Amino acid sequence: MPTDIRAKLSNLNTSAQKARLVIDLVRGQPVLEALDILTFTPKKAAVPVQKLLWSAIANAEENFGVSRNDLYIYQIYADEAPTRKWRRFGARGRFKPILRRRSHITVVLREVE
């Protein structure tokens, strides 16, 4: 069974829905190709996902001795994190809630066989 190289990013200040737009671009790609795609993606979530991918590559090289040329993104997903509830007071004494959504992103790399 091939070894899974994991990296996780917790509490990213972007909603999971917006993060999924970015991670859907790189799912199943070789890691070097995925880094190129993320470099030129004009979304806010692209920079943290790119840093997470670099972290996973470093884990693979340091802990498992796998070359970055042999890696591909086996799984990548974004889950919802706890939502921070904020408030704003509207006209006539009304209360307007603001939901500040966050997400957890997990990436799993595998070696090409």
Interval 63-112: pLDDT, tens: 999 999 999 999 999 999 999 999 889 899 899 999 999 999 999 999 99
Take residue 62 and report the two structure tokens written for it: 């340091």
Q: What is the pTM of this model?
A: 0.89
**Range 21-57 burial, b when 16+ CB lie within 10 A, else e:** ebbebbeebbbeebbeebeebeeebbebbbebbeebb
May I ask the CATH architecture of the domain 5-111?
Answer: Alpha-Beta Complex (3.90)
pLDDT band at 1 (very low <50, low <70, confident <90, very high): low
Dist CA 6 CA 57 (whole Å): 9
Dist CA 31 CA 18 (whole Å): 21
Residues in the chain: 113
